[in-house]
Structure 1
Amino acid sequence: MIKRRPQTRPDKGSPKWMVTFSDLMTLILVFFILLFSMSVVDANKFRAISESFQERSVFDFNPSIIPFENPAPDTEPGDDPFEQEDPFESFLEGEAEEGEGQLDQFLEEVIEFLDSQDLLEAITASRDDRGVVLVLQEQVLFASAEADVIPDAVPFLDKVGTLLESVPNIVKVEGHTDSRPISTHRYPSNWELSGARASSVIRYLVDQHNLDPERFISVGYGETKPVVPNTSEENLQQNRRVVIVISDPAMEEEDLF
């Protein structure tokens, strides 16, 4: 009599390999969540990650590569399951609002200080698309044709340095001169003089207030960016200036130039 082999029934449910694969994906996800929680969030990188998730092709028609046997009643082919509020965008909006508030407070405190010290004529503080902009006339910072910070400039620079300790923004310092040529041993042209003046301001802020030097950008424009024509002594004086830009957090670093 021939014995029949017992017939094996195929296992129901997902294949065994899928369980192991799912566990592996879960562990990898937990690992990256831990890395993210211990990292410093960069808004620009965050935006790039968000855009990479939005540029999807595999999930355009199905929320999973493997179709569900019993899809949810409100899920229809062609529906976009990701069509909801983007958490990345929400985070960036929150960061931008916080940065805007810090800049507004920064500007308010600077104006109050200038008013109390009767410096509103020599130093102006305003807000534009770059951030908070401080324009300092030459006479409040330097002697003529020199780039060493004078003692009279210390109170204001200390005020700016103290405020910069409480915000992480990038700071650009621009040096500008009038059109009159200069030719000395230290400064062969207005390029060297304007660059040295911008660097002197940054050096003071970094050394006296222990600020991160990587936050600063130094630029010497010479006489190439006058605010008024160099046709009178008063206009020449306006063009001899240093501009400090406390950048808006939403600004790209290259947009400051």
Structure 2
Amino acid sequence: MSKKRKHEEHEEHVDESWLIPYADLLTLLLALFIVLYSSSTVDAKKFEEMSKAFNVALSGGNGVLESYKSTDSQALVSDEQAKEDSSKKQNESTQQVSATNLDKAMQELMKKEQEDLEKLKRQVDQYIDSNGLSTSLETKLNQSRLMITISDRALFPSGNATIKPEAEKLGMFISNILQKYPSYEVMVSGHTDNQPISNSEFHSNWDLSSMRAVRFMDVLLLNDKLDPKRFSAIGNGEYDPVATNDTDAGRAKNRRVEVSIIRNYGQPSAATMISSGFK
């Protein structure tokens, strides 16, 4: 009877060992909910520190907190990308504005240059008309230069490179005009026909054309207000004709000296001149 009573008492004893892990689980869940609630009010840095601490507590794995951190990091990356894109667009816009301003400044310089050369051409044309030199001189303004073409007979005796006294007046007139436009390069070039020359002074048309260019440049540079560094002289011989060498009239056109005032910026387009009111 005593053994039976003891057995019944043992069966009535309740095993409560499961309460310990159950209590731990409830504690962890409570901590998780507290963290989730407080995460809406903490900044990203504090939340990241809490995430690391609880991930270590929960066996070092990547749980819910890590997922929240990942989402927050993605948001930060998106913000940084948006800022970078905005900065890039702003830089591109600034560059476009700078390019537009540069283009406008260049157009103004080209417009001013066109006005200068047009004025210079008119002055030379007036000199030609008033002195009856239309058969000896002409001017041409193109996309690269203003060119003053002078017949050799207006400057030199036949087969010679000595400047005629009356030609010095023309040279001084041109130099005085050039003095008003000191920013341009000036090139003086000599040309001959295809008739060969060989004497004690000149061995070829190269020699004759080169020396004529140099001699007329010397006349221009008698004006000490001109900068010699902006001047050059070349001889082209018979190799740059403007007319046929088969006739006397053609050969006469080919024997010439050209004074070229070189553009710095090039000729503005017709659209640019119209839009700026230039005529």
Indicate whether the TM-score tops 0.5.
Answer: yes
Number of the residue aligned with 1:76:
86
Aligned positions of 1:19-98 closer than 5 A:
76=86, 78-79=88-89, 80-82=92-94, 83-86=96-99, 87-98=101-112
> What corresponds to 1:232 in structure 2?
247
The structure 2 residue matched to 1:163, chosen from 165, 170, 177, is 177
Q: Is contact 1:165-1:209 (8 Å) kept?
A: no
Higher Rg of the two aligned structures: 2
Shift in Å at residue 209 of structure 1? 4.5
Task: Report if aligned partners of 1:161, 1:209 keep a CA contact under 8 Å in 2.
Answer: no
Give, as a single letter, the amino acid of the residue that structure 2 aligns with 1:210. Answer: K
* Amino acid aligned to 1:169: Y
Asked whether 1:175 is paired with 2:185, we answer no
Identity level (%): 25
Q: Would the aligned equivalents of 2:176 and 2:223 in 1 still touch at CA under 8 Å?
A: no
The alpha carbon displacement at 1:88 in A equals 3.3
> C-alpha distance in 1, partners of 2:87/2:179?
54
Q: Answer yes or no: is the 8 Å Cα contact 1:194–1:221 preserved in 2.
A: yes
Rounded Cα–Cα distance in structure 1 between residues aligned with 2:247 and 2:93: 66
RMSD: 2.3
CA distance in 2, matches of 1:147, 1:210: 25
Read off the aligned partner of 1:217 and give its amino acid letter: S
Structure with more helix by fraction: 2
Deviation at residue 217 of structure 1 after TM alignment:
1.9
Post-superposition CA distance 1:1-21 (Å, at most 9, x none): xxxxxxxxxxxxxxxxxxxxx
Q: 1:95 to 1:227 in 2, by over 3 A?
A: same
Alignment pair present for 1:124 and 2:134: no
Following superposition, the deviation at residue 219 of structure 1 comes to 1.1
Residue 237 of structure 1: how far off its partner (Å): 0.9
Counterpart Cα distance in 1 of 2:106 and 2:93: 22
May I ask how many residue pairs the two structures share in their alignment? 183
SS at match of 1:217: strand
Q: Secondary structure at the match of 2:93?
A: coil
Structure 1: stretches of 5+ with no match in the other structure: 1-66, 252-257
